[in-house]
Structure 1
Amino acid sequence: MKTPYRYKKMKLSVIIVNYNVRYFLEQCLTSVKRATANIDAEIFVVDNESKDDSVEMVQLLFPEVIVIANKKNVGFSKANNQAIAIAKGEYILLLNPDTVVEEDTFEKCITFMDKTPNAGGLGVKMIDGSGVFLPESKRGLPTPSVSFYKIFGLSNLFPKSKVFSKYHLGYLDTNQTNEIEILSGAFMWMRKSVLDKIGYLDESFFMYGEDIDLSYRILKAGYKNYYFPESKIIHYKGESTKKGSINYVFVFYNAMIIFSKKHFAQKAKAFSFFINIAIYLRAFMAIIFRFLTVIRLPILDTFIIFILLALLTLFKPFIGFPNQIEITNEYGLLNVLTALFSFIIGLTITKSYTKTVNISRTFLGLVVGSIVLLGLNSSFPTNASFSNKFIASILAGVFVFIPFSRIILFYFDKLKIKRNSKKTTLIAGKKEFIESISSLIKLKSPSVDVLHAKHNNSYVKNDEEYFIAKQNQVADIAEIYNANEVIFSSTDISYKDIIHSMNLANSKYIDFKISVNDNFIIGSHHVEKIIEK
């Protein structure tokens, strides 16, 4: 039997700030409860006026957790400070609600910190919901030059450079313990004595930047920050903050300006200038990208029609067309615009310009466009209209090339989403769990190929007839069978083994999901209930 990992005084205070991520929070607390089973620890949840039933869930399922329920959203820094002020632990851990920790994460961190007296802070190796390493696990100080390299893309161009990649310390081995400068706010382990000395989180940072500021103050006080990859956690990056949004760009970079003014006052003005350029450049590029995504089909059709008209005009003397229409004369441009807008209008009316390619709507739109073109062309004077042969050639061209372009796009779209379509699901757990989840999957999608992986690493009689893999083979089997989805039972399999399998797979094409208490399944992008209780 394992000896309890206990100390003379409380060793650890875990602080989780929550905002409207009830299911992620339940999963996080479930993993934290396991990780503190042999440690004298206390757990705080500070809720920033969530509109879901987060507070009620914590009080019902985790009565040992200390809940601070704010009546308004006071921000990340102030919420953490509320708990830090009353925390009793030798160590403080600021933990995001959209994380999952291994069962021995805290014991490993305590052992390292106890043996490293100069350590003020500690971060661990973080992976996302696909098992992909998150580079913010280890970061350098965002000085004006380092921030400049990141903002303008030089760190992405030279990811291993000691000059250009200092923001994410790309030149450091992701599997080796190293001194770093900045800890991630998703998992920020610190000595309480250090915080009492340097002060808590700066509340002028409402969201983002506070971890950078606090990490830097730890360094200025003469302590070291460490990256500790011997322990790994899942961080479903973006679930509680939606980091892909334009709003995130504004909020994050403005936090960087606050940090710069506080610690690099002499360079803050120039730094703020470049930051503001980056903010508006990123926002502008995002808007342009979205706009181009919406109008890609109309642009393609315009190009096809222009090329078609140009070719017909060029070759019409050689194929017997009357030569009365010239693009350069007073009616030429009107003829071109008539042909163009007739088909654009027809395709728009039939709703052919959607994100997904629809060949039947495209043909219907071309029929409508043809009727519009014939009607408009008949209203022109005889010497200023398309001849019947020219009209027939235009119609033949658009009915061949525009649908053909859709077929090509459809092929590439299918190719793009092929790995994301749920065709093969691997379920890992005990037989009862697998049967339950399989029936739900087959009920919704009968064509899905469901594979079974055992919850442990040993086979008994007849196991090989039902299971395709043992627990430690999940990553390999997922790759061999091109699985799009892997579902783990956290009741049957430890979080440590689940995270290990995800880290081995390390594939952005696999959507890893974890069942929590066999009640709901949680993944990077959604939560699905299993049983209504």
Structure 2
Amino acid sequence: MKLSIIIVNYNVQHYLELCLDSVVAATRNIDSEVIVVDNASVDESVAMLVRKFPDVIVITNTSNLGFSKANNLGVGAATGEYICILNPDTVLGEHVFDEVFAFAKAKKTPGIIGVRLVDGTGHFLPESKRNIPTPSVSLKKILGYDSAYYDSKITVEGSGEVAVLVGAFMFLKKTSYLEIGGFDERYFMYGEDIDLSYSILKQGYKNYYLGASTIIHFKGESTIKNKVYRERFFGAMTLFYTKYFKRNKLEQLLVQVGVKVALLKSILSLKIGIRKDQLEKYSPTAYILVSNQEILLDRLQVAVSKPIRIAGCLKHFSAGEEVFFDASYVSYIHIIKEIITHKHSGLTFKIIPKNSTFAVGSNSSDGRGDIIHFGEEN
């Protein structure tokens, strides 16, 4: 087995289905397996997996074990030489693994390889490539100086060595993962990707960012931004500093104060986050379906209140319109390119997975995303 893809799922059935549809297309010519670790979802995620993706290996937990422990379970069941830690709210182009494998083969001591992530509006997510968040770097970020936190040496579309990659897509050898003990299970959610990246570096490997390969990371859907999760995030940062930068009591005190200030700042910004989430619910002026299926057009028209027209490609449009991409007609790599190309056009975007009766998308990287149903589940 060449590749094992590990996906931890928690109550994101529709995003998971879209993700898996893109994964199937991206691994069509690769000896691979997909392992989904479900953290006790209460939606229909597991039933959907059994019905639509019978070849996927499913590990069902009786409680939410968190990101780190669930991924370690998945890797423990993996048989691939390489593994890819993948979030369920991602969309992959058909050639991403071919590109990553070729890149890895050209490097002497590759650790983790990450790719360019964009949100559902096509905008680059800077956490795709980051520096090591030392106490001083993190305190600068808290104060609003992001330049030290994110890696600016490599261009968005470039490639090169980077310290920290994002847990939404982490490609590495299984032996390297096991060599450092996998994810530190003291992290429940947030911070574990920073820890894994840094641990890999300390073992003598080199982490790389590959900007030529791009995936969508809707980002907001699988982790609702509330007070509990924000506390976990800053708790994770405290753990990271204590683990790697425990030098003197004064520095520890500064870190603790910085974390508390950041937590207070984030709690005060919750109302702003709620307003961003409401952007998901705005009403487009009209809709465009990029497809060749007239029957799909008819079914969608029933689900939306504004006019919808069908088009073979995205050429003629107006700001304020929403675009539905039919993945049975348009390749995922083309969908991703179109969303990036038109990110400043005033459009919003939804994707319809193959043989599905819903469309998903997100108009903000901070929002929870939006799902439009237009028929009964198959």
Q: Does the 8 Å contact 1:426/1:483 carry over to 2?
A: no
1:256 aligns with 2:237: yes
Matches within 5 A, 1:373-522: 420-432=282-294, 435-437=297-299, 439-440=301-302, 444-445=304-305, 448-454=306-312, 471=313, 474=314, 477-478=316-317, 481-507=318-344, 509-516=346-353, 517-522=355-360
Is the aligned partner of 1:530 residue 2:359?
A: no
Query: What's the secondary structure of 1:273's corresponding residue?
Result: helix
What do the CA deviations read for 1:478-507 (whole angstroms, capped 9, x no partner)? 4xx214311000011110100010111124
* Cα displacement (A) at 1:518: 4.0
Paired position in structure 2 for 1:84? 75
Structure 1 residues 484, 89: closer, same or farther in 2, change over 3 A? same
168, 190, 195: which one aligns with 1:213: 195
Does the CA contact (< 8 Å) of 2:39 and 2:70 recur in 1? Answer: yes
Asked whether the 8 Å contact 1:491–1:518 carries over to 2, the reply is no
Letter in 1 for 2:92: V
| Cα contact 2:81–2:174 (8 A) shared by 1 | yes
Q: Which residue of 2 aligns with 1:458?
A: none
**Which amino acid in structure 2 is aligned with residue 530 of structure 1?**
F
Give runs of aligned pairs for residues 289-368 of structure 1, distance below 5 A: none
Q: Does 1:169 align with 2:151?
A: yes
C-alpha displacement of 1:92: 0.9
Shift of 1:433: 5.0
1:498-528 deviation per Cα after TM superposition (whole angstroms, max 9, x unaligned): 0010111124943210112242111222212
Please tell me whether the aligned partners of residues 137 and 149 of structure 2 are also in contact (alpha carbons under 8 angstroms): yes
- Could you say if the C-alpha distance between residues 191 and 433 of structure 1 is closer, same or farther in structure 2, counting changes exceeding 3 Å? farther
Q: Report the counterpart of residue 132 of structure 2 in structure 1.
A: 141
| 1:265 is aligned to 2:246 | yes
Aligned residue number for residue 308 of structure 1? none
Name the residue aligned to 1:54. Answer: 45
Q: CA deviation at 1:212?
A: 0.3
Task: For residue 250 of structure 1, give the secondary structure of its aligned residue in structure 2.
Answer: helix
Report the equivalent of 1:68.
59
CA distance in structure 1 between the partners assigned to 2:89 and 2:57 by the alignment: 18
Instruction: Report the Cα distance in structure 1 between the residues aligned to 2:101 and 2:181, rounded to whole angstroms.
Output: 22
- Which structure 1 residue ranges, 4+ long, deviate > 6 Å from structure 2? none
Q: 1:286 to 1:68 in 2, by over 3 A?
A: closer
1:187 to 1:518, Cα distance in 2 relative to 1, 3 A: same
Task: Measure the CA separation in 2 of the matches of 1:264 and 1:136.
Answer: 21
Task: State the secondary structure of the residue aligned to 1:265.
Answer: coil
Q: Which moved more, 1:481-490 or 1:206-215?
A: 481-490
Change (3 A) 1:101 1:433: farther
Letter in 2 for 1:520: F
* Distance change in 2, residues 1:24/1:508 (3 Å): farther
- Structure 2 match to 1:362: none
Matching residue's letter, 1:477: H
Instruction: Give the structure with the higher percent helix.
Output: 1
What do residues 360-407 of structure 1 show as CA deviations (whole Å, max 9, x unaligned)?
Answer: xxxxxxxxxxxxxxxxxxxxxxxxxxxxxxxxxxxxxxxxxxxxxxxx
- Name the SS of the counterpart of 1:169 in structure 2: coil
Q: CA deviation at 1:131?
A: 1.1
Pairs aligned (count): 364
Could you tell me how far apart the structure 2 residues matched to 1:449 and 1:276 are?
49
Structure 2 unpaired stretches of 5+: 363-368
Equivalent residue number for residue 110 of structure 2: 119
Q: Which amino acid aligns with 2:287?
A: T
Calculate the TM-score normalised by the size of structure 2: 0.90
Distance change (3 Å), C-alpha of 1:437 and 1:130: farther
Cα 1:433–1:252, aligned 2, differ >3 Å: closer, same or farther? Answer: farther
Aligned match for 1:28, one of 19, 40, 62: 19
Secondary structure, aligned partner of 1:513: strand
Cα drift, residue 135 of structure 1: 1.1
Residues 247 and 423 of structure 1: CA distance in aligned 2, closer, same or farther (over 3 Å): same
- State the identity %: 42
Q: Is the 8 A contact 1:428 1:434 kept in 2?
A: no
| Structure 2 residue matching 1:205: 3-state secondary structure | coil
Corresponding residue number in structure 1 for 2:261:
277
Flag the 1:129–1:290 CA change in 2: closer, same or farther, 3 A.
closer
> Aligned pair in 2 of structure 1 residues 430, 81: CA closer, same or farther (>3 Å)?
same
Deviations 1:171-216 (A, max 9, x none): 5310111211111011111111211222210000011101000000
Answering whether residue 34 of structure 2 is matched by residue 16 of structure 1, we say no
Indicate the larger mover: 273-282 or 219-228: 273-282
Q: Deviations over 1:228-274 (max 9, x none)?
A: 1221111111101023x333322211110100000101133321221
Higher relative strand content: 2
CA distance 1:197–1:477, change in 2 (3 Å): same
Q: 1:220 to 1:130 in 2, by over 3 A?
A: same
Larger RCO (CA under 8 A, 6+ residues apart): 2
In the TM superposition, what are the counterparts of 1:239-254 in structure 2 within 5 Å?
239-243=221-225, 245-254=226-235
- Alpha-carbon separation, structure 2, partners of 1:108 and 1:277: 42
**Tell me, what secondary structure is at the counterpart of 1:175?**
coil
Residue type at the aligned position of 2:120: G
- Listed one character per residue, the Cα deviations across residues 263-306 of structure 1 (whole Å, up to 9, x for unaligned) are 1011333212211122123324546x799x9xxxxxxxxxxxxx
User: Any idea what SS the aligned residue of 2:157 has?
Assistant: coil
CA contact (8 A) 1:121 1:224 kept: yes
8 Å CA contact 2:94, 2:331 repeated in 1: yes
Change (3 A) 1:151 1:508: farther
In the alignment, the residues of structure 2 paired with residue 252 and residue 101 of structure 1 have an alpha-carbon distance, to the nearest angstrom, of 26
1:249 aligned partner, one-letter code = R
Q: 1:151 to 1:509 in 2, by over 3 A?
A: farther
- Cα distance, 1:68–1:438 mapped onto 2, change above 3 Å: closer
Any idea what the Cα deviations from partners look like across 1:131-190, whole Å, max 9, x if unmatched? Answer: 1111111111111111011111122xxxxxxxxx12122453101112111110111111
Instruction: Give the number of the structure whose alpha-carbon radius of gyration is greater.
Output: 1
- 1:290–1:214 CA distance, 2 compared to 1 (3 A): closer
The alpha-carbon deviation at position 451 of structure 1 amounts to 3.9
